[in-house]
Amino acid sequence: METKQKKTIFTKAPSWLLAVLVFIIAAIVLTITDSIWTPRTETGLNSHLINDLIIAFGCFFIVRLNPKSIWYVPIICNAQLLLSSFAEPNFWKSSMVLPICGGWVLSVIVSIIAAQQGKRKQIIR
Tens of pLDDT, residue by residue over 110-121, are 999 999 998 887
pLDDT tens-digit map of 44-95: 788 888 999 999 999 999 999 999 999 999 999 999 888 888 888 888 888 7
Is 3 within a domain? no
* CA-CA-CA-CA torsion sign (96, 101, 106, 107): positive
58 close to 111: Cβ distance less than 8 angstroms: no
Is 4 within a domain? no
For Cα atoms 8, 56, 6, give the angle at the middle one, nearest 5 degrees: 10
52 close to 89: Cβ distance less than 8 angstroms: no
Determine the structural domain holding residue 75 and report its residue range. 12-124
Please tell me the predicted confidence (pLDDT) of residue 1.
45
Domain count, the chain: 1
Residue 19 backbone class (left: φ over 0; alpha: ψ -120 to 50; beta: rest): alpha
Is 48 within a domain? yes
Is 46 within a domain? yes
Is 114 within a domain? yes
Count the Cβ atoms, other than its own, within 10 Å of residue 13.
14
Please tell me the predicted confidence (pLDDT) of residue 90.
86
Is 6 within a domain? no
